[in-house]
Structure 1
Amino acid sequence: MTDWTTADIPSLSGKTVVVTGATGGLGYETALALAGAGAFVILTGRNDAKGLRAIERICAQFPNALIAYEHLDLASLPSVADFAQRFAASNEQIDLLVNNAGVMALPERQQTEDGFEMQLGTNYLGHYALTARLLPQLRRAKDARVVNLSSLAHRTGAINFDDLQSKRSYRPWPAYCQSKLAMLMFSLELQRRSDAAGWGVRSVAAHPGYARTDLIPNGPGADGLSWRVGQLLQPLISQSAAEGALPTLFAATSAAAEPGGYYGPNWFYELKGPPVPAKIMPRAKDFASSAKLWDVSATLTGVSFDEIAAAA
């Protein structure tokens, strides 16, 4: 497993895949590899022009790729609902959902269209609602998987139920860490709920380590001393977006990826390297907090897994 690469991805012919945030970075590399393995891949993003360019780039590398682009803004619950409705109208099932899209450590507090703090809303709540709305299509597939992108940042994260939207006190990094802890808790809780209710969905989480993507250069402090020091060390401690996508691809395609598993790079502090089981902090395993977060998320988004499952 420590030498796992994209060459180990099995044939995905006949599989339908959705990758969020797939117009660049980790999402693009994930979509590229899955398309190369024969899956029908639907790339989603907020920037339609970037989406079309991503399609062109993939087709240039894989002329016979089965790919499409759909607009999806995870910071808008109406956009999530609209995408899910369009998807259901033309696709009977979904074999793999990769919840990859995200924003990182925004310098100033911003809100989504629905009034959520932008990082929590985009990175987590939008994906929670999307996964719930696609549950009927996931259940129709054999061994459907949901892969949720967390981060090393989850290790210092905490779910602040008293100020979940960071209205009283906003700090960029704690808000980001909270959103990534929420994604890992969601992934583990989704597996528990799937097992209990018989949904037949395999939920797996992954993180890219320190991958060189636009998230970091576009984040806060790009001109600060710590950022400049990080740039000097980057060749030693980081990896490319393509390498950073390997844990996601392992979680998405390998028969060895366990339900409820979490995968990341194998090098020091899980910063880079081939995929291996990753460290999960105790907070992410807190059953009571995870159940509470699930219920709070259903209330905030107005989307209930149980109601959708019952109506399917």
Structure 2
Amino acid sequence: MASTRAFITGGNTGIGFESAKVLCQKGYDVTIGCRDDTRAANAVRAIKEGQPDAKIESVRLDLADLSSVAECYKTLSKQNKLDFDVLLNNAGVMACPKMTTKDGFEYQLGTNHLGHFALTNLLLPHLKEANKPVRIINVSSKGHQFGKMDFDDLFRDKPGAYGPLEAYGQSKRANILFTYELARRLEAEKQTQITVNTLHPGVITTELGRHITGGRWYMNWLIKAASYIFWFKTPAQGAETQLYLATSPDVANVTGKYFDNCKEVKSDGPTYDKEIAKKLWEVSEELVMPKIKALL
């Protein structure tokens, strides 16, 4: 009997690592994508120490570098691991200072959306050919409410246009728009066995917010103090909704939805604009796919 396979981007830390642990416990054959080989090896080792029979391995993946995305795909192809049952697009960065990816994209949009867009589209033909139930899960955030899709200045290059949290919000909005558009396209192709959903994992005590603190002692203190006032989730708690979407029979046939605390909720109004979603798809395709195809 074939293994149930899951691929998790950013599976070496935070909610990605917790998701990898749980899926291994459930008997999944898990591959984690990580840009740092040492951290990936440490994560694999940590899981195997707790679960000696865990089926887990890592592959190098830097979502801020399209050549790395292409190399990751080629590695998976050589391993004959392209027909995943679960694709968990989990990795992300938050509130970075203004910088760019290797391909010149604004770093948060490039990493959080465009890297995942490229990876998903590389895997998609194989997921379709597998002719089996597949769950694609895109981790977004309530932070999508902070940003808007500005196609005239997508990378916030105009003077004074860049704000770390607004750019983060745009990238998380892109995750949702991508989810809804992909769900519509799959439905139009009658690919009903493939579902795609998105989620807000919660406010979590992970290293994702490292750029917010900037190493400043008082910011770390304020975040610690806030954890006593607001409900900050642990990484294990933060992973619950994406694990629910990855494994629960309750959502086996649910697609094109946004979840919070394992319940379907509404994202904000403009995320349901089909024209914006279609344009984002077309712009994303134009930005990444020619480069990806040239690298394969």
TM-score (norm 1): 0.86
How far apart are the structure 2 equivalents of 1:211 and 1:163?
A: 30
Cα-to-partner distance string for 1:128-147 (whole Å, 9 max, x where unaligned): 00000001221115111110
More off after superposition, 135-144 vs 14-23: 135-144
The answer to whether residue 36 in structure 2 is matched with residue 33 in structure 1 is: no
Alpha-carbon deviation of 1:187? 0.7
State whether residues 105 and 220 of structure 1, in contact with CA within 8 Å, keep that contact through their aligned partners in structure 2: no
Alignment-derived partner of residue 143 in structure 2: 153
Residue 224 (structure 1) shift: 7.8
Contact kept in structure 1, 2:8 and 2:88, CA below 8 Å: yes
Amino acid at match of 1:260: G
Q: Could you tell me which of 59, 73, 77 is aligned with 2:62?
A: 73
Structure 2 residue aligned with 1:245: 239
CA contact (8 A) 1:13 1:39 kept: no
Aligned to 1:278: 265
Among 35, 38, 43, the residue aligned to 1:46: 35
AA aligned to 2:232 is S
1:1-312 equivalence runs, <5 A: 14-89=3-78, 90-91=80-81, 93-106=83-96, 108-139=97-128, 140-168=130-158, 169-199=161-191, 200-220=193-213, 223=216, 228-235=221-228, 236-257=230-251, 258-265=254-261, 275-302=262-289
When structure 1 is superposed on structure 2, of 63-72 and 198-207 the one drifting more is: 198-207
Deviation string 1:89-127 (CA, Å, 9 cap, x unpaired) is: 322511111001111101x21111110000000000000
Distance 1:291 1:69, change over 3 A: same
CA separation of 1:303 and 1:240: change in aligned 2, threshold 3 A: farther
Contact 1:13–1:37 under 8 Å retained in 2 = no
| Unaligned segments of structure 1, at least 5 residues | 1-11, 266-274, 308-312
Q: Is there any run of 5+ residues in structure 2 with no aligned partner, and where?
A: none
- Indicate conservation of the 8 Å contact 1:147/1:203, yes or no: yes
Deviations 1:57-112 (A, max 9, x none): 11111111111110000001111111112212322511111001111101x21111
Percent of aligned pairs with the same amino acid: 36
Question: Which segment drifts farther, 128-137 or 194-203?
Answer: 194-203
CA distance in 2, matches of 1:224, 1:160: 34
Instruction: Tell me how far apart the structure 2 counterparts of residues 155 and 244 of structure 1 sit (CA, whole Å).
Output: 19
What is the aligned partner in structure 2 of residue 8 from structure 1?
Answer: none
Q: Report the secondary structure of 1:155's partner residue.
A: helix
Name the amino acid aligned to 2:255.
P
Change in Cα spacing, 1:303 to 1:134, as seen in structure 2 (3 Å) is farther
Q: Is the 8 A contact 2:213 2:220 kept in 1?
A: no
Q: CA deviation at 1:43?
A: 0.8
Contact 2:95 2:211 in 1 (8 A): no
- The number of equivalent residue pairs is 285
